[in-house]
């Protein structure tokens, strides 16, 4: 059975650049061929600031937006977050989306494509890795940082990666695939 990878666009703000980076990565994942790859836009779920009355670990969701988000995350075997860095940290949209759920994330591996200024979003990615362990995810060390993002985006808004980014994406997908198969056994 082919393992399911969801590439999640973590930024939800108007005029965001996240989708152009995520489109590239998603196409790279499709061409890589080991996963059944789906591109997921967090903005489509229109999640308000966390508003469920019960703890997510109970899985008793009151709101339709949570039920939709839960079904999406539950369907995936592995994730790649395409995430910017805001104030040396992940964007609040991503932290909020993580907070909404619990079991849906458990025992699933995560790779991160990070972007920003000179740091390539590495600080943000490392904070995300720390947070997701509480949700029993396995954040893998391989990642794809995109430093000074603007230089890789054309006037018409298309992101074109350099060779290290392409090689890094392939390596990350290879490693993610190993973890995904191993962790699926834990989920029964």
Ligand X SMILES: Cc1cc2nc3c(=O)[nH]c(=O)nc-3n(C[C@H](O)[C@H](O)[C@H](O)COP(=O)(O)O)c2cc1C
Tell me the closest approach of the beta carbon of residue 167 to ligand X, in angstroms.
Answer: 22
Which segments within 48-137 are labelled E, that is strand?
78-84, 109-115
Span from 40-48, 67-75, 116-124, 130-138 in contact with ligand X (CB under 6 A):
116-124
Contact segment (CB under 6 A) with ligand X among 10-18, 38-46, 48-56, 167-175 equals: 10-18
- Shortest Å distance, C-beta 47 to ligand X: 16
Nearer to ligand X, 86 or 142 (CB): 86
Binding status of residue 84 toward ligand X by CB under 6 A: yes
Cα gap 2→14, rounded to integer Å: 34
Q: Which residues of 66-102 are buried (b: 16+ CB within 10 A; e: fewer)?
A: beebbebbeebbbbbbbbbbbeeebbebbebbbebbb
For ligand X, the nearest residue by Cβ is 116
| Interface region with ligand X, contact rule CB under 6 A, candidates 48-56, 63-71, 84-92, 178-186 | 84-92
Rg of the Cα atoms in the chain: 16
CB neighbour list of residue 154: distance below 8 Å, 6 or more residues apart: 160
- Using CB under 6 A as the binding rule, the residues of this chain from 127 to 186 that contact ligand X are none
- Residue 116 CA to residue 163 CA, distance in Å, equals 18
Report yes or no: 93 and 49 within 8 Å, Cβ to Cβ: no
Q: How far is the CB of 90 from ligand X (least distance, A)?
A: 10
Q: Which of 13, 54, 74, 178 binds ligand X (CB under 6 A)?
A: 13
Among the candidate windows 31-39, 48-56, 61-69, 112-120, which touches ligand X by CB under 6 A? 112-120
Nearer to ligand X, 157 or 188 (CB): 157
Closest Cα to residue 32, out of 166, 162, 160?
166
Binding site for ligand X (CB under 6 A): 11, 13, 16-18, 84-88, 116-117, 119
């Amino acid at each position: 059975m082919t393992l399911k990878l969801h590439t999640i666009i973590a930024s939800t703000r108007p005029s965001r650049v996240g989708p152009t980076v995520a489109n590239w990565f998603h196409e790279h994942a499709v061409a890589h061929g080991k996963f059944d790859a789906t591109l997921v836009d967090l903005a489509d779920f229109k999640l308000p600031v966390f508003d469920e009355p019960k703890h997510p670990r109970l899985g008793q969701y009151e709101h339709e937006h949570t039920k939709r988000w839960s079904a999406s995350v539950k369907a995936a075997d592995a994730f790649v977050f395409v995430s910017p860095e805001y104030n040396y940290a992940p964007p609040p949209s991503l932290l909020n989306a993580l907070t909404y759920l619990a079991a849906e994330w458990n025992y699933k591996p995560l790779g991160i494509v990070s972007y920003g200024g000179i740091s390539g979003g590495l600080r943000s990615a490392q904070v995300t890795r720390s947070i997701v362990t509480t949700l029993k995810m396995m954040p893998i060390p391989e990642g794809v940082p995109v430093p000074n993002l603007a230089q890789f985006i054309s006037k018409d808004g298309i992101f074109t990666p350099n060779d290290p980014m392409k090689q890094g994406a392939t390596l990350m997908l290879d490693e993610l695939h190993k973890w995904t198969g191993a962790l699926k056994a834990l989920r029964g």
